[in-house]
Structure 1
Amino acid sequence: MLRGPRESAIYYAVASVSPKVIDKIGISNAANLAASRATAKLLQYLTIVNYNSKIGIKIFLDGGLYLNKNLIRVNQQNQYKSVSTIIKGDEKIPAIMLASIIAKVTRDRFMLKLHKKYPQYGFDKHKGYGTKFHIKAIKKFGLSPIHRQTFKIN
């Protein structure tokens, strides 16, 4: 996320990773993959709108995230001057705070769409988190195609 050339513009991109990919590479690697994809999408958009990259875009990441530069084209890599990972960044950096809110709202809306397809799991109530209700539903109906197969229930 960054402030745009217009006084109050903020640009952002959202990316996701499928449950199958999460199962294959693990949740931490999947989070890094999503961060890299979102960054690549944002930089691509900024190239399209001719954002003045001479000012040097600073990229802030929360917690243990890192960018996979192989997913970001060389010409896009020249657009930013630094990447910083900030522990508890969602408590310290306004751009990370906003990104965290956008990610949660985006995910919650996606879970509401999934609820229409799989109402028996109650995604409208728990948004996919491992609540007692959700675990009971998994025990009763089994894992759906949108569940991670590596999701463990006791």
Structure 2
Amino acid sequence: MNKSIAQIREEFAAAEPSEWAGLYEIYADDARAGVKNLIRSYRKKEEALQKERERLALMRIYENKYGEYELICGIDEAGRGPLAGPVVAGAVILPKDCEILYLNDSKKLTAAKREELYDEIMEKAIATGIGMASPARIDEINILQATYEAMREAVSKLSSVPDLLLNDAVTIPDMIIPQVPIIKGDAKSVSIAAASILAKVTRDRLMVQYDEILPGYGFARHKGYGSKEHIDAIRKLGPTPIHRQSFIKNFLA
């Protein structure tokens, strides 16, 4: 007896992409419109998957270029621009053969996708590290130096010492590990993209926690950035301990 369309749909859903071709062959002569539409939809998925893998191959150009290094670490930060909260840096060493589909610059991803990729990165990475510089530290030494400090801390937290650092745009002072700064690196390197996601998710989660402790500012929504809601709250309620005094002085005049 022929399988029902629902059964065939379940069979496709349970199969790995590498097994789809075999299923196309099995059901190629099935004349039912539902089966034909199902095969058509999976062929489209297969085409999209191939394009995604081609995109990721382009994002490995720097990892391949420096392939003589065994442990390549991507570094990026989140939170240089906000009025409140820390600047957070991520450091990630991925295996050379690692595939994480849809890995990209964290700013190009939805919050839900970042959370999903965060878990996959943590599962597949050889090593990860997070570093932070507090608002008070940012006020003390300026945001650029605080960012460098957070990046150095992130590298120090890695369980394996990297042989090379791929950084998003910057060269970190006081590092003995060789570095390659890459402009817009979070969109050009899988390692830096992974680091950008870890930094962004870590910081966003922290700002949600701050929102519970310090209600009225909307930290969970704007994550500390200078939205109208946030600026109005500062003027109405005054600054909190997590505000960067050097960033908000114009709003308190």
TM-score (norm 1): 0.78
1:58-102 CA-to-partner distances (Å, cap 9, x unmatched) read 211111241433xxxxxxx5xx5x311111111111111111111
1:92-121 CA-to-partner distances (Å, cap 9, x unmatched) read 111111111111111100000000110111
- Taking the aligned partners of 2:97 and 2:170, their CA distance within structure 1 comes to 32
Q: Which has the larger radius of gyration?
A: 2
Structure ranking higher on relative contact order (CA contacts 8 Å, 6+ apart): 2
Distance change >3 Å, CA 109–CA 6, structure 1 → 2: same
RMSD: 2.1
Match of 1:17 among 117, 133, 139: 133
Aligned equivalent of 1:2: 93
Could you list the runs of 5+ residues in structure 2 that have no partner in the other structure? 1-91, 100-123
- Taking the aligned partners of 2:96 and 2:144, their CA distance within structure 1 comes to 33
Distance change >3 Å, CA 46–CA 136, structure 1 → 2: same
TM-score (norm 2): 0.49
What is the number of equivalent residue pairs in this alignment? 134
SS at match of 2:130: coil
Q: Say if 2:165 and 2:179, in contact at 8 Å, map to a contact too.
A: yes
- Taking the aligned partners of 2:201 and 2:243, their CA distance within structure 1 comes to 19
- Taking the aligned partners of 1:130 and 1:115, their CA distance within structure 2 comes to 15
1:13-65 CA-to-partner distances (Å, cap 9, x unmatched) read 111011111001000111111011101111xx226xxxxxxxx7221111124
Aligned equivalent of 1:53: none
- Taking the aligned partners of 1:34 and 1:100, their CA distance within structure 2 comes to 13
Q: Pairwise mapping of residues 2-81 of structure 1 onto structure 2 (< 5 A)?
A: 2-4=93-95, 9-10=124-125, 11-42=127-158, 45-46=159-160, 57-69=163-175, 77=176, 80=177
Distance change >3 Å, CA 6–CA 14, structure 1 → 2: same
Aligned equivalent of 2:235: 139
Q: Say if 1:15 and 1:35, in contact at 8 Å, map to a contact too.
A: yes
Identity rate of aligned residues, in percent? 39
Letter of the structure 2 residue corresponding to residue 3 of structure 1: L
Q: Say if 1:35 and 1:67, in contact at 8 Å, map to a contact too.
A: no
Q: Which runs of 4+ in 1 moved over 3 A?
A: 4-9
- Taking the aligned partners of 1:101 and 1:2, their CA distance within structure 2 comes to 13
Letter of the structure 1 residue corresponding to residue 246 of structure 2: T
Could you list the runs of 5+ residues in structure 1 that have no partner in the other structure? 48-55, 70-76
